[in-house]
């Protein structure tokens, strides 16, 4: 009788008993646990102060206790600014959750910010992002 080589042996098909759970996870919306932002500003300019106020207000409303905000003055940390390729201020960089996004300006257009960051309305219908 001829022996089969290792690569010719058939492996039994294994079907996970949890495949139904996996399908449910694929269909359920994923809500990120934590957001991470870097806001690049120019000193205490009017636009910078407004951007800081606007992003803090938005995060406090939609992400209470679930975000980190690092405010970076481009004059005090020029190397970090160059490494992130920031060419205009104020610039907000959303690092987490992926994908990374950049927004430039004083961040005062709340509906656009909510949409761009993928935030949900508190008590929104079905947890769907706001559609503009």
Q: Report residue 121's pLDDT band, with 50, 70 and 90 as the boundaries.
A: low
pLDDT at 123 over 80: no
Distance CA 5, CA 26 (A): 38
Paired strand residues for 104:
91
**What CATH number matches the domain at 38-119, 3.30.9.40, 3.40.50.300, 3.40.462.10, 3.40.30.10?**
3.40.30.10
Question: Which pTM was predicted?
Answer: 0.69
């Amino acid at each position: 009788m001829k022996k089969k080589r290792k690569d010719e042996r058939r492996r039994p098909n294994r079907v996970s008993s949890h495949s139904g759970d996996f399908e449910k996870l694929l269909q359920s919306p994923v809500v990120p646990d934590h957001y991470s932002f870097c806001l690049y500003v120019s000193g205490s300019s009017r636009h910078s102060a407004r951007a800081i106020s606007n992003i803090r207000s938005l995060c406090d409303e939609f992400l209470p206790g679930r975000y980190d905000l690092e405010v970076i003055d481009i004059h005090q940390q020029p190397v970090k600014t160059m490494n992130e390729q920031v060419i205009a201020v104020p610039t907000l960089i959303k690092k987490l959750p992926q994908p990374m996004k950049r927004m430039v300006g004083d961040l005062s257009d709340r509906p656009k910010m909510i949409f761009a960051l993928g935030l949900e309305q508190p008590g929104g219908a079905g947890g769907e992002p706001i559609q503009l």
